[in-house]
Each structure stands twice: as C-alpha cells, then as structure tokens.
Amino acid sequence: DIQMTQSPSSLSASVGDRVTITCQASQDITNYLNWYQQKPGKAPKLLIYDTSTLETGVPSRFSGSGSGTDFTFTISGLQPEDVATYYCQEYSTFGQGTKLEIK
Amino acid sequence: QVHLAQSGAEVKKPGASMKVSCKVSDYTLSEIALHWVRQAPGKGLEWMGGFDPEEGETIYSQKFQGRVTMTEDSSTDTAYMEISSLRSEDSAVYYCATVGTGYYFDDWGQGTLVTVSS
C-alpha cells in the first residue's frame, strides 16, 4: 500500500502570509495527488485535484505542485477563513492532516 | 454537482451491526461512483471502499474486508454501507463521496455520526 507523509501536522501563520504544506508518497504516484480543506464539523471539501488543478469556485490563492513522490500545497496570502485542517490524498490513502491556525 | 443526503446519527452497542444510507440527487447511481470515508473523533480521514469504475466492482480497504458491505439500490438511487461486529473503535463520522475520474472525492454527504457504546 502507498503511504502518504504530510507535514507539518500543525502550523500557525499570520493573515497575508504564504503557507506551504508538503506531502510525500512512498512510491511514484505520477500526478494523482489531491488536496482537501476540512473545517470543524463539516465534510471535507476538494480544493485541488491531479496535483495542480483548482476545483471550480476555489480561490486562486490556493495552488498545488509536484510530481512523482513529492508534492506541495500553497496558500498565497492567508485569509482568516482559511483556518481549517488540510489533507492530501492519493486514491485510498490520506495524509495525516495539517491543522492551520491564524497567529 | 451531485447532492448526497445521508441518514441520521446512530448509537449502537458493541457487537451489533449498523447500516448508513446515502441518497443521491441530481444524478443517478449508475452515472457516478460512490465511496465511503470515515473519521474517528479528532482523527484524520480513512478510506473504507467503494465502486471502482475501472475494475467494475466494489473494492474494500483490507482493514474492513469481511466486516463491511457496500450496496446500492438503483430503484431509489440510494447507496448503503453496513458494518458488522461493531466495536468502540468504529465510533466515527461516516461520509459517502463521489469519485472523479482521477480518483479524487469531489462531492460529499453531510456525514453520519455513529457512536458505539455499551
């Protein structure tokens, strides 16, 4: 089974900051890497699929990059409403999650 | 966008079985592929299984093989996920979700809280 290692597990940043989360796969997954945002008490929301494609309606401050085993999720200009937990996913495997808070 | 409406919260005793439903609207079950993901309190997301369009059959996480059954009723466009021999570790929110072509989960139900307690 593929393992996904996501880091950091938590981070705190200021409004306007650039935030980066990484996800490493245990084997080559080409570009089949997706990112989700989950707010407390809510279902996860797909933000980015196939590494870098923004889901319809998702703000352009969210972006993704990478290939093979190493992937990056970036928020360019953190907003208060971005407080959430973020997960990477490759089909049957999710990363451990990154809890993002505002300083 | 597919609308998914799940059944309500349940409390079950250890050893019992539990069945969660997921009603599909705006599409039919034959047009989509549904999967199930769960989340224990304060924990991350865990994929359980679902219909794989490429395989043409329902696949299960090895962790749940033999204890979980996923079925569909095309007459009502409702999917079901049943777990038998419940234990306290099965206490979680259970989500149904549609799978996009790249095996990403693009539409989600609202979640069903299941509590297993004696």
Instruction: Tell me the two tokens of residue A67.
Output: 């290939």
Type and span of the H or E element at A73: strand A70-76
> A87 in contact with B at a CB cutoff of 8 Å?
yes
pLDDT of residue B100: 81
Answer yes or no: do A43 and B111 touch at CB < 8 A.
Answer: yes
- Provide, rounded to the nearest whole percent, the portion of chain B with pLDDT above 90: 88
Minimum-distance CB partner of A91 among B46, B62, B103: B103
Res B53 pLDDT > 90:
no
Answer yes or no: do B95 and A93 touch at CB < 8 A.
Answer: no
Whether the Cβ atoms of residue A9 and residue A96 lie closer than 8 Å to each other: yes
Answer yes or no: do B104 and A87 touch at CB < 8 A.
Answer: no
Minimum-distance CB partner of A96 among B44, B47, B111: B44
**Predicted confidence band at B78 (pLDDT cuts at 50, 70, 90)?**
very high
Q: Which three-class secondary structure state does DSSP give residue A82?
A: helix
Res B56 pLDDT > 90:
no
> A60 in contact with B at a CB cutoff of 8 Å?
no
Residue by residue, DSSP assigns B98-109 as EE-TTS-EEEE-
Give the residue from B62, B104, B108 with the most A CB atoms within 10 Å of its CB, the best one to mutate.
Answer: B104
B55: left (phi over 0), alpha (psi -120 to 50) or beta: alpha
Mapping DSSP onto H, E and C, the string for B3-16 reads EEEECCCEEECCCC
User: How many Å apart are CA B23 and CA B4, to the nearest integer?
Assistant: 6
Q: Which residues does chain A have with pLDDT short of 70?
A: none
Res B54 pLDDT > 90:
no
> A17 in contact with B at a CB cutoff of 8 Å?
no
> B50 in contact with A at a CB cutoff of 8 Å?
no
User: How many Å apart are CA B66 and CA A49, to the nearest integer?
Assistant: 31
State the nearest Cα–Cα gap between A17 and chain B, in angstroms.
25
pLDDT of residue A54: 97
Pick from B5, B20, B2: nearest CA to B92: B20
- Name every residue whose Cβ is closer than 8 Å to that of residue B71 and which is 6 or more positions away in sequence: B79, B80, B82
Answer yes or no: do B95 and A32 touch at CB < 8 A.
Answer: no
Taking CA atoms, A64 is separated from A10, A14, A45, A75, in Å, by: 18, 20, 15, 9
When the pLDDT of each residue in chain B is averaged and rounded to a whole number, the result is 95
Whether the Cβ atoms of residue A102 and residue A80 lie closer than 8 Å to each other: yes
**Predicted confidence band at B45 (pLDDT cuts at 50, 70, 90)?**
very high
- pLDDT digits 0-9 by tens, B66-77: 999 999 999 999
pLDDT of residue A103: 94
**Predicted confidence band at B55 (pLDDT cuts at 50, 70, 90)?**
confident
State the nearest Cα–Cα gap between B90 and chain A, in angstroms.
18
